[in-house]
Amino acid sequence: MLVVETIGRIMREHFQKGRSIKQIARDLKISRNTVRRVLRSGETAFSYEREIQPRPRLGAWKLEIDRLLAVNVARPARKRPGGSEDYQFPKTTR
């Protein structure tokens, strides 16, 4: 993820000092395509958020976790599992 300082440095290196994209990428240890994107867009901040978060290990247990959480919400606060009581999940076989 690029921060504003890095974007500013890319702009200064290219436009004021006249350095090439390849030299800037080498010095800052970022890809040439990233340097190109910064120079062409002129934006001061870039952000990236996934639309769907992949959870391959959690996938098999997702329905069970949702069920346990739904049951937990229905319980009074004193009866919910806390520090001493833990959820009992079945052991997995590998």
Is 35 in contact with 10 (CB distance < 8 Å)? yes
Q: What is the pTM of this model?
A: 0.52
Instruction: Report domain extents, the chain.
Output: 4-41
State pLDDT tens for residues 18-57. 999 999 999 999 999 999 999 999 888 888 788 887 777 7
What span, in angstroms and rounded, lies between the C-alpha atoms of 52 and 9? Answer: 32
The whole-angstrom separation of Cα 12 and Cα 53 is 36
Name, in order, each residue with C-beta under 8 angstroms of 4's C-beta and a sequence gap of 6 or more. 44, 45
Cα separations (Å) of 35 from 39, 42, 44, 47, 90? 6, 11, 13, 15, 49
Task: Please tell me the predicted confidence (pLDDT) of residue 76.
Answer: 86
CB atoms under 10 Å from CB of 2, counted, come to 19
